[in-house]
Structure 1
């Protein structure tokens, strides 16, 4: 399989897994619903939504949300160019997979932000309907669906790792981790320049 085909397959599969899991959660859970995976306290599915920033951070209201979504679209264009250049240079397969995962993760959350507000109704005290006649938002103002929760330790006043995230966030994290592991293959020019100046 060519490196181009590996990139396309990685992006398509990662986006599909992300979106299928989000749509399933939206159409089967009410906001705040939770269950323990295989009865494990430290691995749960908990349905939450946010406006698209880490840990649900918000800024600037509707204008801030629109800016964030448009910024992500611009960033995705840059990532696509980076991936294309990496394929042209016939870089290490792990690097191509890493950038493909980062691209898929970014696109996955953009889909939520751009479309979910106009294709779903509210999940508050309600299981959302796909292609609802009464959508909860508008174009470019959808909420990002999160569901993966790993509270490794829960005390009375402290929870270790209380972040709730989704497949798209996972792809970005895995992609960045791969780039760190294969940094010499990912950034060969920078490595040579450092050696020459030292």
Structure 2
């Protein structure tokens, strides 16, 4: 088996990874909702707080004050992204690193879509900060999406460098 190919050349392993991301995301959001007070920082370390909020917008609270239509817009975008990602997984089983990245994005996207459907907003609870500067609150799904997107960029840079040499 080529080191870049999935076992059996199928998408099963990648879908299992996406499912694991989704499960961890939903369990941590459930924990945050039953354990954390709304909008109050609970210090974990000098740079990390637990901080429960509901974000009706997208990344960095984009469109969070849009009046409600954004819930359905981002839900539809997330569902369409999931469909495209599953199609890409099926077409690219030979490229393991690309499919792992897509799986992270898929699990995160579905996790945030589920929040929008259940709560009308995304559950965020991780607050990273330094000297009074706070990164916007996020969750495991957001982390998985960010890591997946970063892996895709790194892989494409590597591919471009390899093709030039």
TM-score (norm 1): 0.70
- Any gaps of 5 or more consecutive residues in structure 1? 117-141
Distance 1:4 1:80, change over 3 A: closer
Alignment of 1:44-55 (within 5 A): 44-55=49-60
Match of 2:23 in 1: 16
RMSD over equivalenced CA pairs, Å: 2.2
1: CA distance between counterparts of 2:124 and 2:141? 9
Alignment of 1:1-198 (within 5 A): 2=7, 4-37=11-44, 40-58=45-63, 60-87=66-93, 90-91=94-95, 93-116=96-119, 142-154=120-132, 159=133, 161-183=134-156, 191=160
Q: Give the stretch that moved more between structures: 97-106 or 78-87.
A: 78-87
3-state DSSP of counterpart to 2:129 = coil
Matched positions, count: 155
Greater C-alpha Rg: 1
Distance 1:149 1:73, change over 3 A: same
2: CA distance between counterparts of 1:105 and 1:75? 11
Report runs of 4+ in structure 1 exceeding 6 Å deviation.
none
2: CA distance between counterparts of 1:182 and 1:81? 19
1:121-144, Cα deviation, whole Å (9 max, x unpaired):
xxxxxxxxxxxxxxxxxxxxx111
1:47 Cα offset (Å): 0.8
Kindly indicate whether the alpha-carbon contact (under 8 Å) linking 1:83 and 1:96 is maintained by their aligned counterparts in 2: yes
1: CA distance between counterparts of 2:41 and 2:157? 42
